[in-house]
Copies of this chain bind each other. A is one copy, B any other.
């Protein structure tokens, strides 16, 4: 049982825009035990769209087309599907009445074009669009001797999702042997993908019935486990088992065993320790604070802090001695330590976190002139303890160095709290 997803729309054949509906649809189809074998992106040309749908029907059991159901001349999914299936379109009076009603409610005369939205494939069930104007269509038919399901959905992601959830998921579920899916997501920071794979592959490869995906990026490794079974309990048991064994292998490298973000985990640990955090950021310029405050409820444990981009603000907001900056340079272990302690004392938090680095592309100034781009110092100050400082040498461009510096700061703070626990 395989599926193909077709995205119809010329804008997705430009360098500027991508199909994103297919990620959602893939997740939903997988949950029903159906694998996606092909995705096709095609423009508004009737001949191209018709041939794409025809090919999809020939090679897949379930075909979902998104887009091209609007009222304009560029919206040709209905005609193309009719051509591919070899069935006529008929104008559905109920659908037409609904479209007239919507225009009437808004006291607008319906442009004649809109009647096209009432054209329905012979044999199709109409899928009402609760959040937009284009109705969808659901065809369950036999082509040759094979059962084929063809679903036409609107392109706007909100309309597509609402329609799929309310009117397709159940219909599809009834068409297949019922499956239940369970997922687990383990997350690790700042560890090489090859190391994770070498240590975990011997475990997850033993679980043929669990699909494992390793994703790496932005200083993080994610291990996704997905299993689909006849009962929810059975599926859950399998993903929990493999996740549990991988957790035992990777230990504290795993910051999240149920998908929480690193920021959420750090905030949670601060809360459990009855700590509050303040940050002094130089090169990251607010990125770390922004990540923490993106979490709802973060204000309970994160007080804020200072963006000490200019050197004089390091003194003004975190009491770093001006002569220390002049001799050691703003990117130095001494300044990172003073910043972490200073911001903690000035804000009255129990934990202070600091980042200072040379993010590039230009070099540092004064005593930092000779220091390499990518040099980072991270300071962590706990009340009643001398601040600890970590030196890193990161590679990459400005964006990468800033992102990874903030990632290291969060991960170092997490590990420091684990140690103290």
Contacts and interface: CB of A to CB of B under 8 A. Distances in A.
Contact of A294 (B12, B285, B308): B285
Interface in A204-232: 213, 215, 222, 224
Interface stretch (A134-142, A299-307, A407-415): A299-307
A306 B305 contact: yes
A55 interface: yes
Contacts of A59: 48, 51
Given A16-B215, A292-B285, A305 B307 contact: yes
B52 A38 contact: yes
A287 B290 contact: yes
Given A13-B36, A26-B13, A55-B55, A299 B309 contact: yes
Contacts of A398: 294, 296
Interface stretch (A39-47, A100-108, A188-196): A39-47
A312 to B, nearest CB: 7
Contact of A362 (B42, B296, B305, B310): B296
Interface stretch (A17-25, A239-247, A331-339): A17-25
Contacts of A290: 284-287, 289-290
A37 to B, nearest CB: 6
A279 interface: yes
Q: Which of A24, A36, A39, A360 has the most CB of B within 10 A?
A: A39
Contacts of A26: 13-15
B15 A24 contact: yes
A361 to B, nearest CB: 5
Given A13-B26, A15-B23, A38-B48, A304 B299 contact: no
Interface string A253-297: 000000000000000000000000011011111111110111011
Most chain B C-beta atoms within 10 Å of own C-beta, residue among A24, A40, A293:
A293
A338 B400 CA distance: 35
A210 to B, nearest CB: 14
B285 A289 contact: yes
Contacts of A12: 39
Contacts of A289: 285-286, 290, 307, 309
A348 interface: yes
A297 B288 CA distance: 20
Interface in A321-361: 346-348, 360-361
A290 B30 CA distance: 38
B303 A304 contact: no
Contact of A13 (B39, B48, B302, B313): B39
Given A37-B45, A402-B294, A307 B279 contact: yes
A56 to B, nearest CB: 10
Nearest to A51: B59
The listed residue with most B CB atoms (<10 A of its CB), out of A42, A292, A307, is A307
Contacts of A222: 16
A274 B293 CA distance: 32
Contacts of A393: none
Contacts of A310: 299, 303-304, 347
Q: Which of A278, A297, A304, A309 has the most CB of B within 10 A?
A: A304
Interface of A: 11-18, 20, 22-24, 26-27, 30, 35-43, 45, 48, 51-52, 55, 59, 213, 215, 222, 224, 278-279, 281-290, 292-294, 296-299, 302-310, 312-313, 316-317, 346-348, 360-362, 398-399, 402
5 contacts: A15-B23, A39-B40, A40-B40, A286-B288, A286-B293
